[in-house]
Amino acid sequence: MNMKSEINIKRVIISAVIATTLFSSLSAQSKVGTSAAPFLHIPVGAKAIAMGGAFTAIGDDPATLYWNPGAVSRSNKSRIYAMQTNWLVGSKHQWIGAQIQLGSADAVGFSINMLNYGDREPITTVEEPNGTGEYWEASDLAFGVSYSRNLTDRFSIGGTVKYIQQQIWHETSSQFGMDVGLLFITQFSGLRIGATIRNYGGDFRMEGRDLIEQVDLDTQASGNNETIVAYLKTDYWPMPLVFSVGAAMPVIDQRFLKVTVAADAVRPTDNMETVNTGVEVLISKMIGIRMGYQSLFGEDNEQGLTAGLGLILPVKYADIIVDYSYQDFGLFGDITTMSLSIGF
């Protein structure tokens, strides 16, 4: 082996060692907190939450607009829907949706996703400790428009385009995102398989008047302009992209009793991979009893057991569904959700 070949081999070895070290370092880093608009991760729908978030392959509830737009056309009924969750540290999470069946194979949907961080807080400074007369507030908001179609009697596809905005005091950031979902109904005992990609879109960056500052570019010099207007440039942050694959199957399907089990494998770009599981017992097509578990195999995760009840009230030309769910959120306490749905 000549000297030149030996040097090239050493370079390759050193490059491989450096690449391996960098990869190991990056893999060991936590992905938590590496995206914007984390409110898009908050689960939607009392029924879906009670089933542990294992809802990608269910498709019989308006909250499907959030979980898998590809399953919306399988509902065969138009519905309006509203829910509220008493979310963490006094905040309120609200979601309103409507799905409209255009025919036997097509459906459209509209949704509003809102997170309110609670009461406004007064702005205080060193000079004015009792308040400046202004109030600090923050909120998150997303509008979505969905379309779903049955391509065959067993396969459907759909998507959602949404406008997302975050606001804190005088700073805002907005972006467009997209969800895409698929649903396949197999010939094996009613087994349903769903897959989604949620929150695909551009990056967020906060902008607003509070980022404008007066600066002195050279504090050591005299006679220069000490009031140059500068704009503080904030970083770009990506959307919380989520890949999800789920399955659901009725293990008992009789006239007065139906038991459905479901499981989802979830891979977000800003956290570790987890599994959600759930079960629903439907009695006489009127009373639903649900249980589930969120974020199985997740490390340092406060989420866990879920449970809930549902009541279906058939009335003339319509039906009314009331759902309730409970989440055990560890150190944050109990989280409850109520939802109301009207189908026609």
**DSSP code per residue over 173-202:** EEEEEEEEEEEEE-SSTT-EEEEEEEEEE-
Q: For the whole model, what pTM was predicted?
A: 0.85
Supply 131's token pair.
């308040």
Q: What is the pLDDT of residue 230?
A: 84
Q: What is the pLDDT of residues 157-207, one digit of tens each?
A: 999 999 999 998 889 999 999 999 999 999 998 999 999 999 999 999 999
Domain assignment present for residue 13? The answer is no
Question: Is the four-CA dihedral 192, 273, 181, 86 of positive or negative sign?
Answer: positive
- Return phi, psi of residue 6, to 5°: -65, -40
Q: Which residues of 202-227 are buried (b: 16+ CB within 10 A; e: fewer)?
A: eebebbeeeeeeeeeeeeeeeeeeee
Q: Structural domain tally of the chain?
A: 1
**Tens of pLDDT, residues 291-310:** 999 989 877 778 889 999 99
Rounded Cα distance, 95 and 92, in Å: 10
Mean pLDDT value of segment 132-145: 88
Residue with tokens 């006094």: 90
pLDDT in tens, 146-156: 999 999 999 99
Residue 239 region by backbone torsions, left for phi larger than 0, else alpha for psi between -120 and 50, else beta: beta
Average pLDDT of the residues in 274-285: 96
Range of the domain at 51: 32-126+148-343
Identify the pLDDT of residue 120.
Answer: 67
Question: What are 24-46's pLDDT values in tens digits?
Answer: 333 334 577 689 999 999 999 99
- Greater confidence (21 vs 231) lies with 231
Q: Any idea which residue has 């995206």 for tokens?
A: 35
60-95 pLDDT per residue, tens: 889 999 999 999 999 888 999 999 999 988 899 999
Asked whether 178 and 163 are in contact (CB, 8 A), the reply is no
* CATH number, position 286: 2.40.160.60
Please state the rounded mean pLDDT for residues 254-273. Answer: 94
The reply to whether 19 falls in a domain is no
Give domain status of residue 318, yes or no: yes
